[in-house]
Chain A
Amino acid sequence: MSPDVWKKLTSDPLFILGAALFAIMAFLLVGGSWLGVHDPHDMSFAPLSSPSLQHWLGVNDGGMDIFAELLSGIKNTLVFSLLAGLTSLLLGVVIGMLCAWVGGLTDQLLMRFSDILLAIPSIMLLILVAAFFRVSAPVLGLILAAMTWPTTAKIVRAQALVIRKSLHIQAARHMGASGFYIIRRHMLPELFPVYLVGFASKLRMAISMETTLSFLGLFDPARKSLGMMINYALKYYYLDIWWNWFLPPVLCLTMLIMATTLISLSMERVFDPRLGGFVEAGSR
């Protein structure tokens, strides 16, 4: 990426705001564990007690410290989303590049397969698998990645086909460079902005997917997550605990989604200045 684009990105208010929100979350995570919060699975506290110096956000109905739950939930959500987002991106880039370079039947088959994947609503398949087999969170993340790579693959393929025809690639080929060398030295680095934009939108998709699934109660109940906290707190919303039990996970979730939305909006604006808005809104 050229320093020019980087400068444009870091001077975009949306990007700054999104990065700041991420920084707050990171600070919360690091600071929280540094201050030595309670074990999120410790059930030995007085249930439903109000916030105190001991328990910053009080204790939930099962006698677990809410602040510790919150930190653990944010961490789990982020780990899941990073795993799903990165794997999906990697698959997309590799397959897209392969299709563009090899072409022919491989390209045809993989693209038709990706059309099928695009047509299947991934959340539904995840619900089915999670409900039937109680698979662990990383496996669900990988399945999500296996379902969502086609969007990236199509963009990478289209861009790579354009670059492939450009003169410097032709020159490299005439000098006898191997396909692997050209892909590694020229094609992969030149598509860098595509990865960034793709990763930001994948991350956003994975975060909302994780919260929906955990809100529906499809993960291991021992695994803390924001969606699950909201689900449990929703049952007690008429009590006066909404501001210390209900609101924190909702706010953290909103901050996470907001941060990824702002960053992906800003990237699309910087890398595709034609529009100045986002086309991929709400799509995966």
Chain B
Amino acid sequence: MPATPRKYIILAYLLAGLILIVASYSLPLWLPGDFVTAAYSGSEITLTAVQAQELHAFYAHDQSLRSYMADVFTLKWGYSYVFQVPISELILEALPWTLVLMGSAHVLATVVGFIAGVEMAWRRGRLVEKLGVGGATVMAGVPELGVGVILLLVFSLHLGWFPAAGGKTVYADYAGCAQLLDLGRHLTLPLTTLFLAYLPANFFLTRGSMVLILGQQFLETARVKGLPPIRIRYAHAARNALLPLATHFGMRFAFMVTGAVVVETIFAYPGVGALLFNAITLRDLPLIQAIVLFSSLAVLAVNLCLEFIYAFLDPRVRYVS
């Protein structure tokens, strides 16, 4: 969004974060009753006043907005109904899996998409390029749900090459290389699914900006200087295509998170997405609330950081605002 001055964007992120926290604080207040009545009203158990009060103190937010905000930032997110453990423990346990899965898928998709985009833009109009663009178009049209399910059916159900669920083999005490191999085997299918989901956007973005860059005059100069084509492509042209890739990452990040939720659920991968799915299935309201708040704040934080990185990468942004 080049039209908006940077300070407003940063302000918008901060306000959005505040709105999310306030929404997360006040939504449960609008429930008929509260967490405790919602959980126990349909059950056979009749609570005494003391019990109700204790449960209330254990689960619900009998607190002001200010102390709620303090709790959000000190990881005091209350207790899960179903698992009966602190929510922060559950999320922090699941987080590394998600970070590894999303991070590796993102890095792979960016690198491959970037190189493919540069090469295809260079070969614009040839058969290879048409095939590549066609393939990426088809890939963009297949949802993660479809890719994931088909990979699951083919590679884990019929061929049996990869495990269908989990992040590691339970009760198998692998060490060293065997452990890494086991983790890798479990990671392969979800990683492939996410990689295929993230790839087309990176590819089209790079190709789009490269096509515009390749028509510019400084490349003509580079060619006239007699530089080898690979140097022209990467050292001169492609570095300019890096910038849009970085800026669009922020716009896509929320969608990447959504994709990760779906993929983790399909492959029962023990990350935050699968935790969210289980929380929704079990109607564990405090856990849902905490995961939603945590991941939206994470999305905001990443976008805010990007805003600064972007200014660092592109001096024009710094000087304009």
Please report A residues at the B interface, Cβ cutoff 8 Å: 14, 111-112, 115-125, 127-129, 131-133, 154, 158, 208, 211-212, 215-218, 227, 230, 234, 237-238, 242, 246, 250-251, 253-254, 257-259, 261-262, 265, 274-279, 281-284
Contacts and interface: CB of A to CB of B under 8 A. Distances in A.
A114 B52 CA distance: 43
A179 B30 CA distance: 43
A112 B211 contact: no
B135 interface: no
Interface residues on B, range: 35 or more
A132 B34 CA distance: 11
Contact of B149 (A218, A230, A275): A230
Interface of B: 1, 3-4, 8-9, 11-13, 15-16, 19-20, 23-24, 27-28, 30-31, 133, 137-138, 140-143, 145-146, 149-150, 152-153, 157, 198, 200-201, 204-205, 207-208, 211-212, 244, 248, 251-252, 254-255, 257-258, 261-262, 265-266, 276-277, 280-281, 283, 285, 288-289, 292, 295-296, 299-300, 303
A128 B27 contact: yes
Contacts of B258: 123, 208, 212
Contacts of B198: 282
Q: Indicate the member of A211, A216, A234 with the most B CB atoms within 10 Å.
A: A216
B149 A234 contact: yes
Contacts of A250: 145-146, 149-150
Contact of B145 (A124, A215, A218, A258): A215
Given A261-B137, A262-B137, A254 B23 contact: no
Given A215-B262, A277-B211, A281-B204, A132 B141 contact: no
Given A119-B300, A253-B146, A276-B208, 14 more contacts: A116-B12, A121-B257, A125-B296, A128-B292, A132-B28, A216-B265, A234-B266, A238-B157, A250-B145, A276-B211, A281-B201, A282-B201, A284-B251, A284-B255
Nearest to A254: B146
Given A154-B3, A274-B212, A279-B205, A122 B280 contact: no
A275 B16 CA distance: 33
Contacts of A158: 3
A216 B277 contact: yes
A111 B1 CA distance: 12
Nearest to A126: B292
Nearest to B15: A116
B254 A217 contact: no
B211 A275 contact: yes
Contacts of B303: 119
25 contacts: A111-B4, A115-B8, A116-B16, A121-B254, A124-B254, A124-B292, A127-B276, A127-B288, A128-B23, A132-B28, A132-B289, A154-B3, A208-B258, A212-B258, A212-B261, A215-B265, A234-B266, A250-B145, A258-B142, A261-B141, A265-B137, A274-B212, A275-B208, A277-B207, A281-B140
A264 to B, nearest CB: 10
A262 B141 contact: yes
A80 to B, nearest CB: 15
Interchain residue pairs A-B with the least CB separation, the first 10: A258-B141, A115-B12, A121-B254, A282-B201, A281-B201, A119-B16, A261-B141, A254-B146, A124-B296, A277-B208
A240 to B, nearest CB: 10
B153 A237 contact: yes
B213 to A, nearest CB: 12
Contacts of B200: 281-282
Contact of A253 (B19, B140, B143, B211): B143
A120 B14 CA distance: 10
A275 B214 CA distance: 12
Contact of B204 (A212, A238, A262, A279): A279
A195 B149 CA distance: 34
A256 B19 CA distance: 34
A220 B146 CA distance: 23
Contact of A277 (B133, B141, B292): B133
Contact of A242 (B31, B153, B244, B254): B153
B283 to A, nearest CB: 8
Contact of B254 (A122, A131, A211, A251): A122
A158 B4 CA distance: 11
A281 B277 CA distance: 26
Contact of A116 (B19, B277, B299): B19
Given A111-B4, A212-B261, A257 B211 contact: no
Nearest to A257: B143
Given A127-B280, A275-B212, A283-B255, A254 B137 contact: no
Nearest to B284: A131
A256 to B, nearest CB: 9
B205 to A, nearest CB: 6
A261 B299 contact: no
Contact of A131 (B138, B212, B285): B285
Contacts of B288: 127-128, 131-132
B267 to A, nearest CB: 10
B27 A129 contact: yes
Contacts of A117: 16
A24 to B, nearest CB: 14
Contacts of A283: 201, 248, 251-252, 255
Contact of A128 (B9, B283, B289): B289
A138 to B, nearest CB: 20
